[in-house]
């Protein structure tokens, strides 16, 4: 095998060594000083060697400028037939040995000879000039005429100017095809050469590659060439069209995407080569000059994107070469992304992008094919065989486009020839692949039939129930005798009486039907529709299986749990025909799992408080640092705008939201017993109104809200966040009770009770909850409790109380439920709808404020909660969270230390706006060194507590060793080791919790500085 591969490589290298020099030197000829004799053109002649050129980089010169005495001498001999991609205007003429074109005969006096097109005959000669490169924007041909009698009148015209007389013929994609002098795919100029000499000028402009092949044709030879070329080209496109039609029939028959990808590839490349050869402009869109330019790169991108898709499918790269498959996907996405490029960018950019895209695509695709080829993959052999000539011709085309190779039959028509071979080979390869698949399928069916008896015997003796269901009639075709031991039904009864509605409870029937639909949407094993296999079919390893757990109604009326593995089997037409199921009873396991789940839920609930505490402690520090930066920068921005502007009001709302976020963090810490919240004087009436605005959006319009909230201030001592939480919990529960009037409590039932209830009814009715009409009412009032009423009804101390009442018209509660509503983790909501912590927290908060709750409820009549809070003394001032615009300022020097750079930058800007000189550090060690260098420079240090290397307290002690009188303000987001009390005992001047406001910080700074100065 290795020897054979070595021989193939040597042969390929030898062929390349022979062809490359031929291609490289093909068309390169030395300059011929003689004139072009039209009479010597017997059939066709390459006249490129007679050409001189001049490049007009500005692109503005016309024929009069070109033939002037200034420009005409600047023409140079043509030494190559391609200039690659250029935006310049190229002018060409037949060689002139001298300094002008006006003299038609040798000038013996000046010894100047002119070399141009010459007709030595006495009669006019009809011939054709062909520019065989079809993809060009503009081709202007100028035929400048000279009189045959010019030599006789030379003396008379000597010293006089001669009038320029020329004939103009135009071609190229810039002009409609109807303007071409000859109806042919390439540019063909018919010329009538009178006896004597003529000079030709050619102007070529193109956004693509500039190629300079020129051929002179004898008239009859040209006509014969056009006819033969049409036959050859349409034979090629006939092959491509036949391939597309053939593969289309196969695609619609077998529905394999690989055929669709091949159709896209063949169609795209066929249209690309058709455009490249000029046939599309001649026959498909002769008047659309805009599309004639765009379609060339567009079809190039489309064709080779289809080639990538075909490669991925044909070689199964996702299975055999997953990493290469990722590369192919990326190239494919790039191909789709490049499709709009011809419409958005210039033709020059689009064509070069197309050439690069094709080159990269071919290299990566061939790399995949070569790897699989050396692994012995059969499709890869066809792939490499098909792509080898295509690769070779594509490389030649790229080299020709950039001017490295001359124009010849291999560089010009090689892509078409190799493309035809490629699609033919791929078509045969797909046929071969389908035959292999059919052989493998036939072999699998044979093995299936041979093992049928073994599986049948196994099915009749196992404990599980095996069955097949006809998906058209939903009737059981086959079921094992074990069904009787499991459900009490005999196999015959099960076949005759089975329906999803009878055998399964409603929820389980719905689940089973969903599993069937899901299985039918998958891609299981396809088998032939053989009636002998309908009793039992082995799904094999390639089938799709779905496991579903459902309840089953037994013949005795009891309910058991079962686990069923379902497999959808399709016929050869990919249509679902049967469902194969293997069912086993799992009642005991289900009960055990339910008990285990119940214990796990209890354990989880018992650990909930601890988990919340751990989480709160972990996030509080970072959260407060984030809020500090947000609040600081917002306050800075707010100070720079007018207080009556909309921006000021919006910034104030952001600050209020930051306060709420700070309070929520503090609430979590309090709930997890990691923080101590202090109560403040609070007017409860505005908070009630605020909560009603929030909850209104979540309620249906059928539920109305009644409120009776006086304008007077009802002040209590409480935490605003906790009161807000109480109101939200009570209102949310009331809304749920009204919107789910017929809901069923699920946390008090277990599996065994459910089975008993269903065994009595045999069937469970589905209930549909619809929003109900109702009224949510809230009110506040002042109550005076004397000694008798306080002790008798509410167990409260006598005094003045604020009573908050929340009532609804929902389903209400019975006495048994009311006795448990304040228990932790008790809930009447379905599983997943509630945690059972809401009312427990409400009760704890109210009792913590030395208040109490009284609940009244009747089934079907609604529920009312009365919450009583001790009223604050009459002279208590209500704390206001609004930030004053008056700030305490100063000019002292402050050292600010925090490991968060965002907070340092914010604090620096904030303190400087107050007039202070601020020196900031994000490293505690650097801050200490700064103080050691200049101990007397600083009047105050503000430091964060939690920092890497050295905490704020440790830094303070180090500085006090150097400067004992240095006042220190300690800031922290959360630290369970340092409390305000312990910080004061250590000598800290002030303890500030993050996030802090600009006003709070400014006040504390002035307090500390004034205290230290006295």
DSSP percent split of the chain into helix, strand, coil, nearest 5: 50, 20, 30
117-119 vs 36-37, strand pairing mode: parallel
The last residue of one of the domains, among 169, 187, 213, is 213
For residue 93, give the CATH number of its domain. Answer: 2.60.40.2380
Among the residues of 142-288, which ranges form H helices? Answer: 154-157, 219-254, 257-277, 279-283
Backbone angles phi, psi at 779, to 5 degrees: -155, 155
Q: In what side-by-side order are the strands of the sheet with 215-218? A: 44-46, 215-218, 125-131, 187-193
Do residues 433 and 488 both lie within one domain? no
C-alpha dihedral, 73 to 75 to 77 to 83, nearest 10°: 170
Instruction: Tell me which residue of 475, 476, 569, 564 sits closest to 522, measured CA to CA.
Output: 569
Q: Is residue 448 part of a domain?
A: no
Q: Say if residue 905 is in the same domain as residue 972.
A: yes
d(CA 166, CA 144): 4
Helix axes of 751-761 and 587-606: crossing angle, nearest 10 degrees: 140
- pLDDT, tens digit (0-9, with 9 covering 90-100), for 699-732: 777 888 888 899 888 899 887 878 887 888 888 8
- Same domain as 484, residue 418: no
Q: How far apart are CA 168 and CA 888, in angstroms?
A: 90
End position of a domain, from candidates 393, 426, 441: 441
What's the angle, vertex CA 65, arms to CA 63 and CA 69, rounded to 5?
Answer: 120
Beginning with the edge strand found earlier in the chain, give each strand of the sheet holding 893-897 in spatial order. 917-921, 893-897, 940-944, 968-972, 990-993
Q: Count of alpha carbons within 13 Å of 178, Cβ hemisphere only?
A: 3
Please provide the DSSP assignment of 113-173 as one string.
----EEE-SSS-EEEEEEE-----SEEEEEEEE--TTTTTTHHHHTTSPPPP-EEEEEEST
Strands 576-585 vs 465-470: parallel, antiparallel or unpaired: antiparallel
Instruction: Show the tokens assigned to 700.
Output: 């249906």
Is residue 839 within 8 Å of residue 729, measured between CB atoms?
Answer: yes
- Residue 661 to residues 45, 61, 167, 895, Cα–Cα distance (Å): 88, 74, 86, 28
Inside any domain, residue 590 = no
Q: Which is it for the CA torsion 677, 682, 685, 687, positive or negative? A: negative
Q: What is the CA radius of gyration of the chain?
A: 47
**DSSP H helices in 315-377:** 317-320, 322-338, 341-344, 347-374
Whether residue 850 is found in the same domain as residue 910: no
Are 128 and 196 in a shared domain?
Answer: yes
Per the CB < 8 A criterion, the answer to whether 955 and 897 are in contact is yes
Quote the pLDDT of residue 603: 67
* Per-residue model confidence (pLDDT) at position 518: 74
What residues of the chain score a pLDDT lower than 50? 1-12, 14-35, 97-115, 147-162, 524-543, 673-675, 742-770, 832, 835-836, 879-885
Cβ contact 843:725 at 8 Å: no
What CATH number has the domain bearing residue 919?
3.40.50.2300
Q: Report if residue 706 sits inside a domain.
A: yes
What pLDDT score was predicted for residue 251?
A: 83
Residue 975 CA to residue 992 CA, distance in Å, equals 12
Task: Please state, in angstroms and rounded to a whole number, the distance separating the CA atoms of residues 370 and 357.
Answer: 20
Q: Tokens for 392?
A: 């070779």
Show the tokens assigned to 233: 């080209």
Residue 188, in any domain of the structure: yes
208 plus 257 within the same structural domain: no
Whether 159 contacts 244, CB under 8 Å: no
DSSP 8-state symbol, 72: G
CATH of the domain at 544: 3.30.450.20
**How many Å apart are CA 593 and CA 249, to the nearest integer?**
55
Tens-place pLDDT, residues 109-154: 333 334 467 778 888 888 898 888 888 888 999 887 654 433 433 3
Q: Give the whole-angstrom CA distance, residue 507 versus residue 501.
A: 10
- Residue 73 belongs to domain spanning: 31-213
- Domain membership flag for residue 637: no
Residues 6 or more apart in contact with residue 749 via CB below 8 angstroms: none
Could you give the CA distance from residue 46 to residue 872 in angstroms, rounded to a whole number?
Answer: 111
Contacts by 347-352, CB closer than 8 A, 24 or more apart: 347/137, 347/207, 347/208, 347/293, 347/294, 347/296, 347/297, 348/85, 348/87, 348/207, 348/208, 350/294, 350/297, 350/298, 351/85, 351/207, 351/208, 351/209, 351/296, 351/297, 351/300, 351/401, 352/85
Length of the chain: 1014
Rounded CA-CA distance 268/852 in Å is: 81
Residue with tokens 């039904």: 489
- Tens-digit pLDDT profile for residues 735-784: 888 877 544 433 333 434 444 444 344 334 334 344 567 888 999 999 88
Query: What pLDDT is stored for residue 664 in this prediction?
Result: 67
Q: Does residue 80 form part of some domain?
A: yes
Element at 198 (helix H, strand E) = strand 196-205
Residue 726 to residue 731: CA distance in whole angstroms? 9
CATH number at residue 373: 1.20.1070
In the block, tokens 């699998």 appear at: 444
Flag whether the pTM goes above 0.85: no
DSSP class of residue 876 equals: P
Does 652 reside within a domain?
no
Distance CA 965, CA 1012 (A): 8
Does one domain contain both 389 and 478?
Answer: no
Q: Domain for residue 11, yes or no? A: no
Same domain, 700 and 812: yes
522 and 437 co-located in one domain: no
Q: Are 57 and 125 contained in the same domain?
A: yes
Give the whole-angstrom CA distance, residue 547 versus residue 549. Answer: 7
- How many domains, in total, are found in the chain? 5
CA neighbours closer than 13 Å in the CB half-sphere of residue 722: 26
What is the C-alpha end-to-end distance of the chain, expressed in Å? 100
Same domain, 135 and 252: no
**Strand ranges in 503-544 using DSSP code E only, listed in sequence order:** none
Q: What is the CATH number of the domain that holds 760?
A: 3.30.565.10
Instruction: Give the pLDDT score at 651.
Output: 85
Asked if residue 237 and residue 201 are part of one domain, the reply reads no
The four Cα atoms 395, 401, 402, 406 give a dihedral, to 10 degrees, of: 90
């Amino acid at each position: 095998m290795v020897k054979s591969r070595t021989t193939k490589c040597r042969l390929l290298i030898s062929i390349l060594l022979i062809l490359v020099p031929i291609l490289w030197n093909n068309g390169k000829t030395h300059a011929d000083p003689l004139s072009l004799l039209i009479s010597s053109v017997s059939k066709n002649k390459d006249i490129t060697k007679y050409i001189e050129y001049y490049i007009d980089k500005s692109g503005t010169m016309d024929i009069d400028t070109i033939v002037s005495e200034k420009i005409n001498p600047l023409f140079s001999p043509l030494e190559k037939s391609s200039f690659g991609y250029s935006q310049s205007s190229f002018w060409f003429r037949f060689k002139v040995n001298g300094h002008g074109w006006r003299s038609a005969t040798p000038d013996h006096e000046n010894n100047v000879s002119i070399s141009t097109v010459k007709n030595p005959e006495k009669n006019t000669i009809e011939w054709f000039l062909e520019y065989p490169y079809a993809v060009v924007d503009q081709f202007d041909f100028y035929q400048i005429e000279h009189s045959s009698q010019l030599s006789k009148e030379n003396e008379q015209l000597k010293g006089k100017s001669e009038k320029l007389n020329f004939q103009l013929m135009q071609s190229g994609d810039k002009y409609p095809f109807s303007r071409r002098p000859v109806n042919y795919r390439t540019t063909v100029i018919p010329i009538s050469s009178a006896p004597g000499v003529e000079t030709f000028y050619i102007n070529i402009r193109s956004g693509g590659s500039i190629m300079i092949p020129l051929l002179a044709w004898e008239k009859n030879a040209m006509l014969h060439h056009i006819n033969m070329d049409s036959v050859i080209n349409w034979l090629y496109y006939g092959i491509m069209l036949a391939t597309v039609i053939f593969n289309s029939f196969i695609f619609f028959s077998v529905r394999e995407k690989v055929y669709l990808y091949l159709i896209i590839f063949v169609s795209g490349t066929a249209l690309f080569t058709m455009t490249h050869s000029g046939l599309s402009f001649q026959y498909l869109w002769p008047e659309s000059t805009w599309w004639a330019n765009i379609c060339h790169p567009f079809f190039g991108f489309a064709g080779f994107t289809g080639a990538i898709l075909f490669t991925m499918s044909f070689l199964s790269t996702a299975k055999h070469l997953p990493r290469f498959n990722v590369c192919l996907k990326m190239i494919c996405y790039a191909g789709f992304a490049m499709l709009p490029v011809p419409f958005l960018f210039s033709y020059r950019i689009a064509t070069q992008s197309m050439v690069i895209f094709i080159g990269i695509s071919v290299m990566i695709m061939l790399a995949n094919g070569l790897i699989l080829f050396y692994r012995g993959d059969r499709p890869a052999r066809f792939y490499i065989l098909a792509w080898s000539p295509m690769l070779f011709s594509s490389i030649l085309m790229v080299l020709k486009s950039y001017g490295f190779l001359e124009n010849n039959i291999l560089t010009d028509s090689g892509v078409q020839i190799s493309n035809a071979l490629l699609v033919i080979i791929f078509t045969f390869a797909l046929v071969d692949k389908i035959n292999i698949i059919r052989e493998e399928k036939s072999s699998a069916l044979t093995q299936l039939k041979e093992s049928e008896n073994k599986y049948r015997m196994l099915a009749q003796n196992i404990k599980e129930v095996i069955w097949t269901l006809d998906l058209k009639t939903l009737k059981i075709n086959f079921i094992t005798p074990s069904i009787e031991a499991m459900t009490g039904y005999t196999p015959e009864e099960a076949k005759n009486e089975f329906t999803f509605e009878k055998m399964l409870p409603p929820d389980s029937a719905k689940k089973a039907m969903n599993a069937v639909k899901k299985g039918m949407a998958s891609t299981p094993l396809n088998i032939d529709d053989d009636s002998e296999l309908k009793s039992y079919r082995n799904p094999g390893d390639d089938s799709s299986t779905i496991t579903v757990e459902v309840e089953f109604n037994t013949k005795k009326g009891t309910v058991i749990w079962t686990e069923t593995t379902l497999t959808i089997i399709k016929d050869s037409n990919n249509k679902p025909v049967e469902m194969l199921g293997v069912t086993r009873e799992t009642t005991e396991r289900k009960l055990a799992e339910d008990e285990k789940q119940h214990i796990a839920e209890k354990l989880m609930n018992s650990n909930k408080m601890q988990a919340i505490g751990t989480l709160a402690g972990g996030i509080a520090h970072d959260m407060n640092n984030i809020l500090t930066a947000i609040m600081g920068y917002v306050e800075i921005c707010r100070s720079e705008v007018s207080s009556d502007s909309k921006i000021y009001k919006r910034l104030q709302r952001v600050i209020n939201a930051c306060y709420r976020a700070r309070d929520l963090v503090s609430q979590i810490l309090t709930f997890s017993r990691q923080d101590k919240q202090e109560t403040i004087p609070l007017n409860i009436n505005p908070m009630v109104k605020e909560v009603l605005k929030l909850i209104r959006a979540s309620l249906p319009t059928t539920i109305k809200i009644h409120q009776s909230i006086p304008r007077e201030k009802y002040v209590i001592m409480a935490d605003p966040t906790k009161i807000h939480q109480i109101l939200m919990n009570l209102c949310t529960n009331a809304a749920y009770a009204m919107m789910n009037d017929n809901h069923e409590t699920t946390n008090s039932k277990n599996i065994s009770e459910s089975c008993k209830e269903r065994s009595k009814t045999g069937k469970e009715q589905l209930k549909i909850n619809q929003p109900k009409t109702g009224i949510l009412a809230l009110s506040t009032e002042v109550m005076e409790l004397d000694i008798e009423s306080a002790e008798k009804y509410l167990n409260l101390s006598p005094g003045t109380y604020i009573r908050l009442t929340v009532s609804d018209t929902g389903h209400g509660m019975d006495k048994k439920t009311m006795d448990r509503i304040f228990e932790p983790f008790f809930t009447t909501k379905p599983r997943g709808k509630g945690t059972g912590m809401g009312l427990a927290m409400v009760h704890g908060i109210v009792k913590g404020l030395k208040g109490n709750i009284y609940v009244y409820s009747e089934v079907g009549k609604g529920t009312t909660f009365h919450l009583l809070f001790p009223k604050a003394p009459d002279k208590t001032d209500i704390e206001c969270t609004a930030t004053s615009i008056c700030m305490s300022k100063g000019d002292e020097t402050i050292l600010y230390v925090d490991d968060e750079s965002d907070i340092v930058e914010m604090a620096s800007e904030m303190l400087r706006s107050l007039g202070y000189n601020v020196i900031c550090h994000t490293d505690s060690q650097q801050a200490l060194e700064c103080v050691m260098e200049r101990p007397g420079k600083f009047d105050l240090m503000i430091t964060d507590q939690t920092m890497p290397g050295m905490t704020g307290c440790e830094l303070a002690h180090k500085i006090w060793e150097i400067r004992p009188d240095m006042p220190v303000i300690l800031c922290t987001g959360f630290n369970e080791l340092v409390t305000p009390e312990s910080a004061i005992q250590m000598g800290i001047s002030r303890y500030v919790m993050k996030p802090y406001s600009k006003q709070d910080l400014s006040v504390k700074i002035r307090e500390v500085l004034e205290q230290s100065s006295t």
